[in-house]
Amino acid sequence: MPPSLREELEDLYAAYVECLDNGELERWPEFFTAVCVYKIIPRDNYDRGLPLALMLCESKGMLEDRVAALRRTSVYAPRSLRHLVSSIRVQRQDATPSAPDGAESIQVQANYAVFQTRLDEPTQVFNVGRYVDRLVREETGLKFNEKLCVLDSVLVPGSLIYPL
């Protein structure tokens, strides 16, 4: 019996947060399509349609650059993140007639809470918000064509280093 779409989404989001929580950033761009939007944006800006974002990448190549910058040039205190994701829900499923293979696109939202642990410190709430995502099906499975991380607060303990 093939998995339901909900089961497939649960698996995808679980794999996504595992990649980030394990710090395997080099694998992170693989969750996206070649042309894509990845954006971290405050809730206020998102709700008012203002474009200003804390992080913006518009292709898988930019995601890879971001990871390279993190690995090679950034200086920051060691920390680990832990994502809890719940209330994954399909908002809309559209056939994409323009796509050569009639690929469908799936609009998905989910709530997340990210906890941060810095060396020799207790764990604290880092950031909560929601994912507003568009997924398309490629040969290797569902990929993020657009992923917006809409933050409830832009004030985070420390600074925003890693993708969410």
Binding site for a second copy (CB under 8 A): 1, 3-4, 6-7, 10-11, 13-15, 17-18, 21, 43, 80, 82-89, 109, 111-113, 115, 117, 120-125, 127-130, 152-153, 155-157
Integer distance in angstroms from the first to the last C-alpha of the chain?
33
**H runs (alpha helix) in the chain:** 5-21, 43-48, 60-72
- What single letter denotes the amino acid at residue 142? L
Least Å from the CB of residue 50 to a second copy? 17
Polymer length of the chain: 164
Identify which of residues 65 and 121 has a Cβ nearer to a second copy in the complex: 121
Min dist. Cβ of residue 116 to a second copy (A): 9
Q: How far is the CB of 159 from a second copy (least distance, A)?
A: 12
Yes or no: say if 70 and 79 are a contact pair by the CB < 8 Å rule.
Answer: no
Residues 116-139 as b/e (b if ≥16 CB within 10 A, e otherwise) read: beeeeeeeeebbebbbbbbbbbee
Cβ 113 to a second copy shortest distance, Å? 5
- The residue (of 68 and 84) whose beta carbon lies closer to a second copy is 84
CB closer to a second copy, 3 vs 141: 3
